Chain A
Amino acid sequence: MSPSSRRLMVLPLVALLLGLAAWFMSRNETPLHAGPPATVTFPTEMTPREEARARARRTHRPPAAPNAPAPGAPVDPLLAVLPTDPGAGAVVLEANAIRNSPLGETLLACMGGRRQLDMMRERTGVDPLNDLDRMAITTEGVSLTGHFGEADWDALFPDASRSARGDQGRIYELPDEGVRGENRRAVGVWGNSMVVLGTPEEVEAALDRLEGGGPRGTPILDASQAYGEVYGVIGGDTLAMMLGRGGGLGDQLPPELRDAASRLELHADTRSDVGVVARFEGEDPTRVEELGKTFKGLLSVARAQAQLEGEPDAVRLLDMARVSHGEAGFDLQLAVPQSFLEEMAERCRVEHQAREEAAERARAEGEALPEPQTPTAAPEREEL
């Protein structure tokens, strides 16, 4: 066989090998930069979209102060209703935006679907998934905004004593079920767009802030801080109570640093990946820096512990946790990637489905028995 014909015989083999090489290299091929998941956006400032959102929400013009020449500028009613005490705390949740995000899907899946929400809608006329816009949780009660026109408040609280507050406010004081009045609760309704829950005094004060009836003050949360899907401010007293009390994080911190931070500003972006920024500030920069270093150490220890205990999910989350120091304090950044949320939602869905099937089986078995010997309430309790 001549050398040239031998070479020709090799060509099909080379072509076959190259074809196989191409096939192997092209398998599961993904774009090169789609891989690393650690690119979570942290909300550190207001975006133009959020500025427009904040502007659109300035719909309420509070009545002018007695000696003021003209009424004030329009404000966001939810921000206006927040406490004015600098030591208080308020966290606002953009309920509608969160519901339509991967986090919302995960929460819904883990709550076990819509059955309870449907029951609530039938009872109150308010669909939490569609009618609720925002929720503010404060140290002085809870405020909700949204579309509450369908709710029949008089029918909902037939035993409550009803009183008017300002032009648009109504207060339903619920019957006291406590011994010394510690369970006094009230619901304040402002127009068809806001509901305030708390003690009668808290609800009165909140409606007065909206209607201009009480003492004037600046709400603890400014409109420029209303960015992210969760945002809020926790003032000195509340923060000191959170960090200082026994159990949880307070126990991990050295006692001399528990009151180092006098203010915590919180922002969370939940549109795809969840990125949380907690900004700690205090009077003494050295002590705040020390607190930041302690947080770094705690994250480090928590990660090592999670590794030792074989908790890969916790390790993944702690991998993305950061503490970055600034001039006024430090930022604690925490991230939950969307892929993690999707895994969680799937896990919750599967678990919930298994629970429902078990409950269904237990119910069927209970019905099959003529006289049940054991109480069949266990699955019901589990569902609750």
Chain B
Amino acid sequence: MMLFEVALQVLREAVRRRWVLALFIGITGMLLLLSFTLQLEVVDGALAASRLFGKVLGIGAEDAEVALRPLFAAGSALLFYGGLLFGIVATADFAPRLLEPGRIEHLLALPIRRWQLLLGTFLGVLVLCLSAGLYGALCFTVLIGTKTGFWMWQLFGSALLCTVAFASIYAVMLGSVTWVRSAATSAALGGVMFILGIIASNRVAIAPFITEGWGRTGFEAVTSVVPRIASLGLLAAHPDLDPERLAQLPTLLVGMGLFTVAVLTLALSNFESKDY
């Protein structure tokens, strides 16, 4: 129960922060802008005309699912990558604040185990990320659904995948704080993981450009461990991909889950051995 208490405390603190308020205002503002500027006319499941900022995007009757697919793909990609970047920046100082001198001593004096403190923080941040993602997905889906009468649940999947990807990045950010108590370092490592995740997703295409030998082997070894952020992003934006690629999703999720557990185990071991 203490684990959830800590997670709840993280959420309460997040609500008090302006960053989180900005996140929700940002999502709402973007969707409001879209709701005023995008005009979709749908007749019995067929998209008759669509306008964005007054400019006609297409005319004639087209199947609404086919016509709206690019819009949902763009929305999913925005939610996935935007959510990750905003999450890295917005949550970078959560853990350093938790461990700042004075506060950590107070927390450790309470009947809370160290692992509960660390995992509770991790859980709280993930719940925050998932809530923001689901809020964005819900608003976008309702916006398009009420305008067109066509409901697509793709964005909810994107929000879930974004949370899985963020979990692996935030595990590294949280782990770094147990060594260096710095929000800047935490954010930088989050950014590095984000970029490495994109490189790792393209490792099959990049590897042939590296000279065969220890260089390529090293690259392949390092990137094999890194979570495949862009692969997950592609699946979030295009759930209608070929079956071969979709079959990759379960192993990808298991792999990223194991990576997160491994990093958290290391962080926990370090946190337990620290003397505050």
Q: CA–CA, A286 to B52, complex, Å?
A: 24
B11 to chain A, nearest CB (A): 28
- Pick from A11, A32, A296: contact of B61, CB under 8 Å: A296
Q: CA–CA, A7 to B228, complex, Å?
A: 28
Give chain B interface residues in 39-75, CB to chain A under 8 Å: 45-46, 59-66
B99 adjacent to chain A (CB < 8 Å): no
- Pick from B59, B201, B258: contact of A293, CB under 8 Å: B59
A13 adjacent to chain B (CB < 8 Å): yes
- Pick from B66, B248, B262: contact of A319, CB under 8 Å: B66
Q: Which residues of B contact A297 (CB under 8 A)?
A: 46, 60-61
- Pick from B63, B234, B273: contact of A7, CB under 8 Å: B273
Q: CA–CA, A13 to B61, complex, Å?
A: 58
B262's nearest neighbour on chain A, judged by CB, is: A17
Query: What's the interface size class on A, roughly?
Result: 35 or more
Q: Are B251 and A21 in contact (CB under 8 A)?
A: no
Q: Which residues of B contact A300 (CB under 8 A)?
A: 45-46, 61-64, 66
A323-B204 in contact given A4-B273, A25-B251 (Cβ < 8 Å): no
Number of residues from B at the complex interface, CB < 8 A: 47
Q: Are B224 and A30 in contact (CB under 8 A)?
A: no
A339-B259 in contact given A296-B61, A300-B45 (Cβ < 8 Å): no
Among A33-41, A71-79, A373-381, the one that faces the other chain is A33-41
Q: Are B60 and A323 in contact (CB under 8 A)?
A: yes
Q: Are A22 and B225 in contact (CB under 8 A)?
A: yes
Q: CA–CA, A21 to B45, complex, Å?
A: 43
B244 adjacent to chain A (CB < 8 Å): yes
B37 adjacent to chain A (CB < 8 Å): no
- Pick from B61, B227, B245: contact of A30, CB under 8 Å: B245
Q: CA–CA, A33 to B237, complex, Å?
A: 13
A350 adjacent to chain B (CB < 8 Å): no
B230 adjacent to chain A (CB < 8 Å): yes
A26-B224 in contact given A10-B265, A32-B202, A32-B205 (Cβ < 8 Å): yes
Q: Are B273 and A29 in contact (CB under 8 A)?
A: no
A27 adjacent to chain B (CB < 8 Å): yes
Q: CA–CA, A319 to B70, complex, Å?
A: 12
A368 adjacent to chain B (CB < 8 Å): no
Which residue among B62, B65, B231, B263 has the maximum number of chain A CB atoms within 10 Å of its CB?
B62
Q: CA–CA, A205 to B273, complex, Å?
A: 98
Q: Which residues of A contact B200 (CB under 8 A)?
A: 25
Q: Are A293 and B247 in contact (CB under 8 A)?
A: no
Q: Are A20 and B231 in contact (CB under 8 A)?
A: no
Q: CA–CA, A293 to B58, complex, Å?
A: 11
- Pick from B201, B254, B270: contact of A24, CB under 8 Å: B254
A20-B258 in contact given A25-B251, A300-B46 (Cβ < 8 Å): yes
Q: Are A299 and B266 in contact (CB under 8 A)?
A: no
A32-B230 in contact given A10-B266, A17-B265 (Cβ < 8 Å): yes
Contact code string B188-221 (vs A, CB < 8 Å = 1, else 0): 0000000000001111110000000000000000
Q: CA–CA, A272 to B270, complex, Å?
A: 56
Q: CA–CA, A323 to B47, complex, Å?
A: 13
Q: Are B266 and A21 in contact (CB under 8 A)?
A: no
B138 adjacent to chain A (CB < 8 Å): no
Q: Are B241 and A36 in contact (CB under 8 A)?
A: yes
Q: CA–CA, A274 to B241, complex, Å?
A: 19
B222's nearest neighbour on chain A, judged by CB, is: A22
- Pick from B46, B238, B247, B258: contact of A28, CB under 8 Å: B247
A14-B241 in contact given A6-B269, A24-B254, A31-B205 (Cβ < 8 Å): no
A36-B61 in contact given A24-B255, A30-B204 (Cβ < 8 Å): no
Q: Are A3 and B251 in contact (CB under 8 A)?
A: no
Q: CA–CA, A295 to B61, complex, Å?
A: 8
B252 adjacent to chain A (CB < 8 Å): yes
Q: Which residues of A contact B252 (CB under 8 A)?
A: 24-25
Q: Are A21 and B234 in contact (CB under 8 A)?
A: no
Q: Which residues of A contact B22 (CB under 8 A)?
A: none
A7-B269 in contact given A300-B62, A319-B66 (Cβ < 8 Å): yes
Q: CA–CA, A18 to B259, complex, Å?
A: 6
Q: CA–CA, A24 to B230, complex, Å?
A: 16
A29-B245 in contact given A6-B272, A7-B273, A300-B62 (Cβ < 8 Å): no
Q: Are A32 and B251 in contact (CB under 8 A)?
A: no
Q: Which residues of A contact B60 (CB under 8 A)?
A: 292-293, 295-297, 323, 325
Contact code string A280-321 (vs B, CB < 8 Å = 1, else 0): 000000000100111111011101100000000000001100
What are 27 A-B pairs with beta-carbon distances under 8 A? A4-B273, A6-B269, A7-B270, A11-B266, A14-B269, A17-B259, A17-B261, A17-B262, A17-B265, A21-B259, A24-B251, A25-B227, A25-B256, A28-B247, A29-B203, A31-B205, A32-B231, A33-B205, A35-B234, A35-B244, A36-B241, A37-B242, A293-B61, A300-B63, A303-B63, A319-B66, A323-B60
Q: A residues engaging B (CB < 8 A)?
A: 3-4, 6-7, 10-11, 13-14, 17-18, 20-33, 35-37, 289, 292-297, 299-301, 303-304, 318-319, 323, 325, 339
The 5 closest A-B pairs by CB, nearest first: A24-B255, A25-B255, A3-B273, A17-B262, A297-B61
